[in-house]
């Protein structure tokens, strides 16, 4: 928040965003880090804090310097512009022609949506059975818990099959950060590993390839 001043502050949209998050994304916040906030922000925070649920407000932490920030984020993952060692720089990847073609396939989309609706019913039913099994013997309760978890996993897998038919590709998809099945690769390690494997394979092929001979090599 370097160079922040009252000229940058607009309370109305801040309050609106807080209410939206509380209403639509409850208990989804991990931690908020406010880095190098100027002294003037103290007065602003005292107002904003009053709008927040006490549990949410307790997840907001302030860091004045790199050492304090390193308590929450490893120095190796803090960008150099903030004093860390991470050399990452933002780069925009242009949309790729045809990357959203599967969104036109309504037949597959509808099949997956019907499958999802069926799984949702199974999941809701398993949740009710799990709740009712609260006072049941341990073995029965464990069985209901297992059924609930299995239904939840099928629901998760179904979404990622449905995903390319309902969601346009984004920067995260193009840069290999968001992978198939919802896996995340923030630092592109999958690409690095693939490139290293390809280079190793190419080197091995070049080493093992027989040397070519010509007429001049014959006695």
Q: Are 67 and 36 in contact (CB under 8 A)?
A: no
pLDDT of residue 213: 46
Compute the distance between CA of residue 136 and CA of residue 38 in angstroms, rounded to an integer: 57
pLDDT in tens, 186-219: 776 655 565 566 667 766 665 555 545 444 544 4
Q: Are 177 and 186 in contact (CB under 8 A)?
A: yes
pLDDT of residue 205: 66
Element containing residue 51 per DSSP (H, E):
helix 41-51
Give the Cβ contact number of residue 61 at 10 Å: 14
Q: Are 175 and 188 in contact (CB under 8 A)?
A: yes
pLDDT in tens, 125-135: 999 988 887 77
- Neighbour-count burial of 106, counting CB atoms closer than 10 A to its CB (0-12 exposed, 13-18 middle, 19+ buried): exposed
Q: Is the pLDDT of residue 48 over 60?
A: yes
pLDDT of residue 74: 92
- Between 132 and 85, the more confident residue is 85
Mean per-residue pLDDT, 103-124: 96
Q: pLDDT band at 152, cuts 50/70/90?
A: very high
pLDDT of residue 85: 92
- Neighbour-count burial of 121, counting CB atoms closer than 10 A to its CB (0-12 exposed, 13-18 middle, 19+ buried): exposed
Compute the distance between CA of residue 29 and CA of residue 55 in angstroms, rounded to an integer: 10
- Between 108 and 145, the more confident residue is 108
- Average pLDDT of the chain? 83
- Within the chain, strands assigned E span 32-35, 60-63
Compute the distance between CA of residue 33 and CA of residue 62 in angstroms, rounded to an integer: 6
Mean per-residue pLDDT, 87-107: 92
pLDDT of residue 198: 63
The single-letter DSSP state of residue 100 is T
- Between 200 and 75, the more confident residue is 75
- Between 115 and 129, the more confident residue is 115
Half-sphere CA count of 38, side-chain side, radius 13 A: 9
Compute the distance between CA of residue 149 and CA of residue 72 in angstroms, rounded to an integer: 31
């Amino acid at each position: 928040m370097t160079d922040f001043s009252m000229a940058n502050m607009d309370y109305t949209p801040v309050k609106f965003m807080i209410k939206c998050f509380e209403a639509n994304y409850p208990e989804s916040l991990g931690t908020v880090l406010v880095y190098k906030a100027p002294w003037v922000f103290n007065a602003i925070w005292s107002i904003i804090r009053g709008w927040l649920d006490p549990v949410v407000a307790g997840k907001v932490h302030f860091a004045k310097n790199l050492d304090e920030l390193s308590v929450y984020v490893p120095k190796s993952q803090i960008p150099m512009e903030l004093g860390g060692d991470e050399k990452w720089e933002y780069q925009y990847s242009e949309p790729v022609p045809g990357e959203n073609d599967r969104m036109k396939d309504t037949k597959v989309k509808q099949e997956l949506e019907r499958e999802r609706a069926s799984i949702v019913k199974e999941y809701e039913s398993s949740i009710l059975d799990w709740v009712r099994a609260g006072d049941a013997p341990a073995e029965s309760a464990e069985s209901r818990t297992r059924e609930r978890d299995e239904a939840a996993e099928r629901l998760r897998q179904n979404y990622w099959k449905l995903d390319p038919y309902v969601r346009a590709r984004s920067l995260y998809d193009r840069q290999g950060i968001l992978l198939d099945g919802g896996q995340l690769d923030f630092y592109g390690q999958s690409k690095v590993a693939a490139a290293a494997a390809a280079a190793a394979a190419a080197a091995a092929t070049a080493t093992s390839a027989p040397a070519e001979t010509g007429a001049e090599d014959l006695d």
